[in-house]
Amino acid sequence: MRNVLIVEDEQINAFIIQKFVGEHYAVQLAQNGNEALDLIDTNSFDIILMDINLGDEELDGIEVMKRLRKIPSKADTPVIAVTAYAMPEDRQRFLNEGFDGYVPKPIIKAEILQQMATLLPE
């Protein structure tokens, strides 16, 4: 089973995402950027679902993703921005930052699973 890291500081959102993807993937959860980086350091994930606003201005989801990209063995891990930033221009902004995918909140189960399937080759 593929391993997924969900990085989400809001418990209800984490629960919903975990419910949606936990049927298909093995899930681990990080509630902030530091916890995410610790888990990334000690585990191997096939894909990461990254909230952008993690309640820490110093270490938001963009910064966590950028730090991940600097780790040679982890740099190619697909990262999907899962965010309340849902204006039309936001999708392109996050893709330009280096995310591999983008899912706006509120999350639609079919949409997040489709993005994950697209980024995870069989």
| Two tokens, residue 5 | 């890291």
Q: Provide the residue ranges of all domains of the chain, joining segments of one domain with +.
A: 3-119
| Average confidence (pLDDT) over 23-49 | 97
pLDDT of residue 44: 95
DSSP 32-85: SHHHHHHHHHHS--SEEEEES--S-SSS-HHHHHHHHHTSTTTTT--EEEEES-
Cα distance between residue 55 and residue 113, in whole Å: 26
In one-letter notation, the amino acid at residue 44 is S
Pairwise pLDDT comparison (100 vs 122), residue with the higher score:
100
Does the pLDDT value for residue 93 go beyond 80?
yes
pLDDT band at 51 (very low <50, low <70, confident <90, very high): very high
In one-letter notation, the amino acid at residue 54 is L
The pLDDT tens digits for 62-81 are: 999 999 999 999 999 999 99
CATH code assigned to 3-119 = 3.40.50.2300
Which residues, including other chains, have CB under 8 Å from residue 62's CB and lie 6 or more apart? 52, 94, 97
| Average confidence (pLDDT) over 19-29 | 97
Does the pLDDT value for residue 122 go beyond 80?
no
* Predicted TM-score of the model (pTM): 0.97
Total Cβ atoms within 10 A of residue 62: 21
